[in-house]
Amino acid sequence: MGDINVTPLVDVMLVLLIIFMVTAPMMMQGVNVNLPKTTTKYIKTKDEPLVLSINKKREVFLENRRIDTETLEIKIRKIFENRREKEILLRADKDVPYGFVIKVVASVKRAGVNKLGMVTEPLEK
């Protein structure tokens, strides 16, 4: 018998496919915040942008790590030091005061980020 039995390989691949299909929706990065609802177009990005989140307690998170607003500008500058595309997505809770969000946005802009997108949820019709 000179044939290779591929049945075990197919079984393993199907199990891996199912695992990835189940876990992929759970891999949304960032902290869970209550996003405002609006009608906007989607942003097309080349690379995976950095996610900056602000929860209703005014805590700022870079990806899933909590960060002080005083050190935010320095950390972002270090992260984007060797990157050509400087892009951040901002996820702010709808109950966070506008002034605090603008303070965070100003820190991001001072760090040299040239693309800042705001994440919202679609409006239900």
Q: Is 46:85 a contact under the CB 8 Å cutoff? A: yes
Amino acid 11 reads: D
Q: What is the pLDDT of residues 1-50, one digit of tens each?
A: 678 888 889 999 999 999 888 877 666 555 565 656 666 555 555 567 78
> What DSSP string runs through 51-90?
EEEE-TT--EEETTEEE-HHHHHHHHHHHTTT-S--EEEE
Task: Sketch out the chain's domains with CATH numbers.
Answer: 29-122 (3.30.420.270)
Is the model's pLDDT at 109 over the cut of 60?
yes
pTM (global) more than 0.75 = no
Q: Is the model more confident about 1 or about 60?
A: 60
